[in-house]
Chain A
Amino acid sequence: MRHVISATVQNVPGVLAHVSGMLASRGYNIDSLAVGETEDRGFSRMTFVLRGDDRVLDQVRRQLEKIVTIVRVDDISSRNYVERDLMLIKIAAPPGPERSHVKELADIFRGRIVDVAADSVVVEISGTEKKLEGFIELMRPIGILELVRTGRIAMVRGGPPTREQTEADDDGRSDEPSSARESLA
């Protein structure tokens, strides 16, 4: 099962190495790891995506909690949360119909073209893992030159879920395909 773990850590040198080293040495595979400062400069937030059964995840959480510089660990998978991944993708798209096609798809996926060169464009796009993968699949036949992703970040929603909040999540909208398979089907 896929788990999203959010950890608050002390913003001290070596904490990322400590965490990733612990996970590697105990044989846990992480799909994604993102880290950045929080509103308090003394702390950073790490978001992990891991796969494993409940027992494995329980161990991961306890082992993370044992690391002195980790302040708090939450497995937010079972809670109502927003999850995002940011991607920059460079596509081989010389001026002409191909470039228009890329532009059109980027619009549908609420992406932005952030760089244009003679033979390529760079699209910035954010969303869930599924959405990004959907976009990648669509770009593959056109020609992906380079791709970089931040890894998943996630946050538990405030208060109990409401209809408005669900709608505010752009992935809930029907005008935007959440995966290539769906849109191509």
Chain B
Amino acid sequence: MATASRPRVSETVQTGADVVVESLVRHGVEVIFAYPGGASMPLHQSLTKYADRIRTILPRHEQGGGFAAQGYARTTGRPGVCMATSGPGALNLVTAIADAKMDSVPMVALTGQVGTNVIGTDAFQETPIVEVCRGITKHHYLVTHHDDIARVMKEAFHIATTGRPGPVLVDLPKNIQLAQFVPDYDVPMNLPGYRPEPRPPQPEQIAQVAAAIKRAKRPVIYAGGGVITGDASDELRELVRKTGIPVTMTLMGLGAFPADDKLCLDMLGMHGSVYANYAVDEADLLIAIGVRFDDRVTGKVAEFAQHGFIVHIDIDPSEINKNKLVHVPIVADVEDALHALNKIVEKPAAPLDEWYAKINQWKQEDPFSYDRSFDGILPQHAIAELSRLTADRDTIVTVGVGQHQMWAAQFFKFRRPRTWLSSSGLGTMGFGLPAAMGAKVAHPESLVIDIDGDGSILMNIQEFATCRTENIPVKVLLLNNQHLGMVVQWEDRFFKGNRAHTYLGPIDNPEACGQGDGISPECRYPDFVSIARGFGWQAETVVEKGGLEGALRRLVDSEGPALLDVQVPYQEHVLPMIPGGMTVRDLIKQ
């Protein structure tokens, strides 16, 4: 890392906490989301000494801090940093850490810990956080000697950002933070078992892929988060320019290829487009790049792309043949592999006109659609309108989890990588608002919008305070249907519509047992506009379709943090849909 060749900065005595913070500076950290407590106070004291170089943002819940760090990391590619105290503080980071692991987000999470002399005694606010996080981090450290701090910090950033990125936890006992010593920042890393540098792609494998493309008649590219994480979006576009192969993306891959390109098949999988799923099913060549054949993409994995010759490019060897056996497994950095391929690749020998015609027919028959004549505001319409109104702006979108997330993936047009942030693997509700916060901190010039649901936003609504107090003007488009819409949809489809704790209003309302025929504006709960205003946000509600465009314009043009509460019906289903574990032949269009 950058510190390796620098001389020792000083012979002066520093505290352990100073060494931690100095290490952050040396690794280029410009912002940390940190919530203090007894066991992390020395670290916070040090942060004030470095306030000119590191901005410390106080979230209102550690989970919010963790997701804000992710928002920073996902939009920049640089490691996000968050910090919490021991015990409950550390435990509140756990979900954000697990989320970062699932979506391969580089993150360094620092936690305070009780002093080493009382570890293991069930001391006040003691939790064995390293034990808790073992299976959900890329790596983890409990620092038990102050001489290890500089090396551990160096290793933490190295591990978090190289190979397949992920979260690294560093647990710092309070006495280690308080120790006074002369630090050596130049200490070498001790990672004999960590070899993240991927081998260069093997020329014979790349030639195999080029040959497969040459003879393909129905090729499809299936691009995932690895294309974005690996900064390979340009190479992907180049490959498509050279070969004319249509591209479908996973939820994590959106933005890797522009949605308005005629070769874009949009998202595939459970709520992916009909045409993407049909195309993959009929493909004679599937080029899977930076993906992991997730069950939400493949459905019944044995029948996924069963007619195709499959190429799989990924940096993580453990993803090869994990879920799906493939014909050409290439363990490599996706950018390197695509770069090598682009040098030799040629168009398929036979023109793809027939294949294009078939795909275009599918596109015309079954586009993503909704009832445009609906009297009120449909959630899909609100998103499509937002996408239209912000098309010429530098926009980053975050989401929570559920129906609104899928509709945002379907109806918002993403054109660039790192402009779409979704808790995809773990599916954590409450991700949207704090992730938007982190994204906005990293990109103050961008328009950052959290498209959220009324269930998800309540899970981290306390971050309204952070946005206001720290001057982070994010926008929230709240699609408020008073229900946990995705679960309601499954209740409707698979449980005869029996409502089981999926209505978010008062339990004595008829909707609580599925009896109501809609939600009247008077009985909506809670009053998000008052809540937002109470936090110092600008906020308004829109109910009428005619008022939507104006309200959206006011939202995106507002100065400070702003909320638009859109009243939408709860009866809408996300379609198309391939039920879990099933195949494209079970695809539900209606």
Which of chain A's residues have a CB closer than 8 A to the CB of B134? 14, 17-18, 21
Q: Which residues in window 75-130 of B have CB below 8 A to A?
A: 130
Q: Cα distance A10–B130 when bound, in Å? A: 17
Instruction: Mark out the residues of chain A between 25 and 77 whose CB falls within 8 Å of any chain B CB in the assembled complex.
Output: 25, 55, 58-59, 62-63, 65-72
Docked pose: A63 CA to B321 CA in angstroms = 12
Q: Is A106 an interface residue (CB 8 A)?
A: no
Chain B residue with minimal CB distance to A13? B142
Question: With an 8 A cutoff between CB atoms, is B499 at the interface?
Answer: no
A22 on interface, CB distance cutoff 8 Å: yes
Does any Cβ of B come within 8 Å of A9's Cβ? yes
Residues of chain B with a CB closer than 8 A to A17's CB: 131, 134
A-contact 0/1 string along B117-157, CB 8 Å cutoff: 00000000000001100110011101010000000000000
Cβ-closest chain A residue relative to B316: A66
Q: Are A69 and B193 in contact (CB under 8 A)?
A: yes
**Binary B-proximity of A153-171 (CB < 8 A = 1, otherwise 0):** 0000000000000000000
Which A residue sits closest to B196, measured CB to CB?
Answer: A68
Q: With a CB–CB cut-off of 8 A, which chain A residues contact B192?
A: 10, 71
B194-240 residues at the A interface, CB under 8 angstroms? 194
- Residues 148-197 of B contacting A (Cβ, < 8 Å): 159, 190-194
User: CA A62 – CA B319 in complex, angstroms?
Assistant: 9
Which of A17, A63, A65, A68 has the most B CB atoms < 10 Å from its CB?
A68
**Given the complex of chains A and B, what is the CA–CA distance between A65 and B191 in angstroms?**
13
Question: Are B159 and A65 neighbours in the complex by a CB distance under 8 Å?
Answer: no
Q: B residues within 8 A CB of A22?
A: 135
Which residues of the partner chain A approach B131 to less than 8 Å between Cβ atoms? 14, 17
Smallest beta-carbon distance A112→chain B, Å: 38
- A17–B322 CA distance with the chains assembled, in angstroms: 23
Number of interchain pairs (Cβ within 8 Å): 44
Q: Are B193 and A70 in contact (CB under 8 A)?
A: yes
Q: Is the CB of B318 within 8 A of A62?
A: yes
Contacts of B547 in A (CB 8 A): none
B317 in contact (CB, < 8 A): yes
User: Provided the pairs A55-B321, A59-B322 are in contact, do residues A68 and B138 lie with their beta carbons within 8 angstroms?
Assistant: yes
Contact of A25 (CB < 8 Å), options: B135, B142, B318: B135
- Tell me, rounded to whole Å, the shortest Cβ–Cβ distance linking B286 to chain A: 20
CB distance from A57 to the nearest CB of B (A): 12
Whether the Cβ atoms of A72 and B135 lie closer than 8 Å is: no
The chain B residue with its CB closest to the CB of A26 is B135
Residues from chain B with Cβ under 8 Å of A13 in the complex: 142, 144
Kindly list chain B residues whose C-beta atoms are within 8 Å of the C-beta of A10: 190, 192-193
Given contacts A25-B135, A68-B139, contact A63 B193 (CB under 8 A): no
B317: chain A residues within 8 A (beta carbon): 62, 65
CB distance from B106 to the nearest CB of A (A): 15
User: How far, in angstroms, from A71 to B142 measured CA to CA in the complex?
Assistant: 20
Most B Cβ at <10 Å: residue of A9, A13, A22, A66: A66
Q: How far is the CA of A14 from the CA of B132 in the complex (A)?
A: 12
Residue from B144, B159, B316, B318 in contact with A68 in the complex, judged by beta carbons closer than 8 Å: B159
Inter-chain contact B191/A68, CB cutoff 8 Å: yes
Q: How far is the CA of A25 from the CA of B135 in the complex (A)?
A: 8
A68 in contact with B193 given A62-B318, A63-B318 (CB within 8 Å): yes
Query: For residues 221 through 277 of chain B, which have their beta carbon under 8 Å from a beta carbon of chain A?
Result: none
The smallest C-beta distance from A137 to any residue of chain B, in angstroms, reads: 39
**Closest partner residue, chain B, to A72 (CB atom):** B193
Is the pair A71, B130 in contact by a Cβ cutoff of 8 Å? no
Q: Which residues of B contact A59 (CB under 8 A)?
A: 318, 321-322
User: Which residue of the partner chain A has the closest CB to B164?
Assistant: A66
Do B193 and A67 have beta carbons less than 8 Å apart?
Answer: yes
B142: chain A residues at CB < 8 Å are 13-14
Task: Give A25 to B132 CA distance when docked, in angstroms.
Answer: 13
Complexed CA–CA distance, A55 and B326 (Å)? 12
Which of B135, B140, B193, B316 counts the most chain A CB atoms within 10 A?
B193
* Chain B residues with CB under 8 A of A72: 193
Task: Chain A residues near B321: list those with CB within 8 A.
Answer: 55, 58-59
A70 contact set on B, CB distance < 8 A: 193
**Interfacial chain A residues near B193, Cβ < 8 Å:** 9-10, 67-72
CB distance from A80 to the nearest CB of B (A): 26
3 closest Cβ contacts across the A-B interface? Answer: A62-B318, A71-B193, A68-B139
A-B contact pairs, 9 of them (CB 8 A): A10-B192, A13-B142, A18-B134, A25-B135, A55-B325, A58-B321, A59-B318, A68-B159, A71-B192
Interface residues of A (CB under 8 A from B): 9-10, 13-14, 17-18, 21-22, 25, 55, 58-59, 62-63, 65-72
B residues with CB within 8 A of A: 130-131, 134-135, 138-140, 142, 144, 159, 190-194, 316-318, 320-322, 325
